[in-house]
Amino acid sequence: MKLLASTVLAALLALPAFSDTIPITLDIVNADGAPDGFSRSMVTANGTYPGPLITASKGDTLVVTVNNLLDDPTMRLSTSLDFDGILVNTGNSFDEGSSFVTTCPIAPNASYTYVVPLVNNQTGTFWYHSQLSVQYVDGLRGALIVYDPDDPLKDLYDVDDENTIWQVGDWWHNSTLPMLAGYVATGIVPVSDSGTFNGVGRFNGGPDVPFFVVDVVQGTRYRFRIINTSARNVFTMSVDSHNMTIIETDGMPTSPMTVNSLDLLAGQRYSVVVEANQPVANYWINAPYVGGSPARNLNQNATLSRAILRYQGAPEEEPTSPMSLGPADEELNALVEANLRPLVASPAPEADINITLNLVVTAGKAQWNVNNVSYLAPEVPTLVKILDGANSTDDFNVTENTFILPANKIVQVIFPPSEDDEEHPFHLHGNNFWLIKSNSSDEINTENPIKRDVAGVGSTGTIMRFSTANPGPWFFHCHIFWHLQAGLATVMASGLNETRAEVHPTQAWTALCPAYDALSPDLQ
Ligand SMILES: [Cu+2]
């Protein structure tokens, strides 16, 4: 009997991991909160900023029910959720949440359930946020972690759980409708009041909100998953007296690389291993940020953006060392993105199609152009037009800036050097890309480039390649959402016939657009 039981058990263990359905309910509500000590009304999931942590395992299916209960008219009242960085198969593209590209927003007092199968054995560090206008600036952002039971790098760390996630983000005291109106009136992108670390921060003259505390035990190695949930700011992360070994870029495992400082653009994620190998004490985790001129917002003080790494046994107080912005120049070993290598080399295939994208701002205006076109969200989402038979560029508005591409090709996107002093984090939906030229270097690497889904476009130029083997209308845009709102976006629409053949949306999805279109503008 015993022998039989153990044989059965062994057989069960040999089966592939069961994939689960992960039901999640997010009530999107306006809630008062004071992340940095300044009280305001926010747009939240379940009343918190950041929203609830979503976790899953490789191969699971997320079933995310969104109940839109928003009622504060100083912010948008409709909503939509994007699962940032999650690979989406063509057939599931209608549930990837990009307003006016793949879906219509969810009206107030309505519910919608996104079904998001995790495909291609994808694992790693992701996040979710509103993808309607700049609504996530008002708070609707949260972490989404897909764990890998067979992580090839698991020998490098001991702890990787809900307490090892660092969400850094820019924070504003004003709500988005007046800020957007100000941007449109002046052409000046709003400058954040503060930065938050796991939902708490400080601003000049504000109260001493307790810094977030990350508890560690001496001798233990932690996998910290860092997510920049900003709509604008770049965060520079470091931990006093500790190194960070990078092992992941946007869901892709990397060959371990040790640094003591790294930048994250808006939307980017890294996993780093930090070994608690110092004397028992409190240490600063420095998380200064940059985003526009601080002179435009006197509340801003990037030095106050930080958290505490507290060893077990250390007193419950702030570190006694000065608050710095990170390692001094002579000790600096900062990440150079171009030096990262994937854990498993994946050469970038030769390009079949070349697209050059020139990013140009219209001076003094809230208007960004990609190849002389400023993206304007259409009334009828791109995917709806495709399902209705759209076949050529003529079937889309010029302002949709939609590139029609054949399926099963390799597309190379070249961003020439831009003169803007702010790097634009370009993000591809539903897919990732080979980053064959990083803005951090002049080197072109097609042999073993990293793959990721957000990369900076700036002064030295950037080149990416992506495959259209997974057809669909994929939004490709700057993750500075103020820039996106001002037109810095395109849609890479590949395989229109294949998309029509594979996408079979639900009645609930089909009903979203008529319901949204029937709303008065103040409810949209
Ligand atoms: Cu931008």
Residue 232 Cα, ligand 1 centroid: separation in angstroms? 8
Residue 474 Cα, ligand 1 centroid: separation in angstroms? 18
Structure tokens at 356: 């050059």
The pLDDT tens digits for 31-50 are: 999 999 999 999 999 999 99
Residue 420 Cα, ligand 1 centroid: separation in angstroms? 9
DSSP 241: T
Single-letter residue type at 494? S
* Whole-structure pTM value: 0.95
Residue 479 Cα, ligand 1 centroid: separation in angstroms? 6
How sure is the predictor about 20, in pLDDT bands with cuts at 50, 70 and 90? Answer: very high
pLDDT for residue 222 is more than 70: yes
- Contact criterion met (CB below 8 Å) for 261 and 272: no
Q: How far apart are CA 78 and CA 110, in angstroms?
A: 9
Residue 370 Cα, ligand 1 centroid: separation in angstroms? 11
* Mean of pLDDT values over 47-72: 97
Q: How far apart are CA 66 and CA 53, in angstroms?
A: 15
pLDDT for residue 452 is more than 80: yes
The pLDDT tens digits for 374-431 are: 999 999 999 999 999 999 999 999 999 999 999 999 999 999 998 887 899 999 999 9
Q: Is 458 exposed, middle or buried (0-12, 13-18, 19+ CB in 10 A)?
A: buried
The tokens 């994620």 sit on which residue?
269
Residue 97 Cα, ligand 1 centroid: separation in angstroms? 21
User: Integer distance in angstroms from the first to the last C-alpha of the chain?
Assistant: 65
pLDDT of residue 17: 52
pLDDT of residue 44: 98
Residue 159 Cα, ligand 1 centroid: separation in angstroms? 35
Residue 74 Cα, ligand 1 centroid: separation in angstroms? 25
pLDDT of residue 7: 45
Q: How far apart are CA 517 and CA 337, in angstroms?
A: 43
How sure is the predictor about 13, in pLDDT bands with cuts at 50, 70 and 90? Answer: very low
pLDDT for residue 2 is more than 70: no
Residue 190 Cα, ligand 1 centroid: separation in angstroms? 13
The pLDDT tens digits for 65-87 are: 999 999 999 999 999 999 999 99
Residue 316 Cα, ligand 1 centroid: separation in angstroms? 40
* Mean of pLDDT values over 475-490: 98
Residue 458 Cα, ligand 1 centroid: separation in angstroms? 10
The per-residue DSSP string of 352-419 comes to SEEEE--EEEPTTSS-EEETTB-----SS-HHHHHHTT--SGGGS-GGG-EEEE-SS-EEEEEE----
Residue 477 Cα, ligand 1 centroid: separation in angstroms? 8
pLDDT of residue 18: 65
pLDDT for residue 138 is more than 70: yes
pLDDT for residue 10 is more than 70: no
Residue 480 Cα, ligand 1 centroid: separation in angstroms? 5
Determine how β-strand 353-356 pairs with β-strand 410-415. parallel
pLDDT for residue 474 is more than 60: yes
Residue 454 Cα, ligand 1 centroid: separation in angstroms? 12
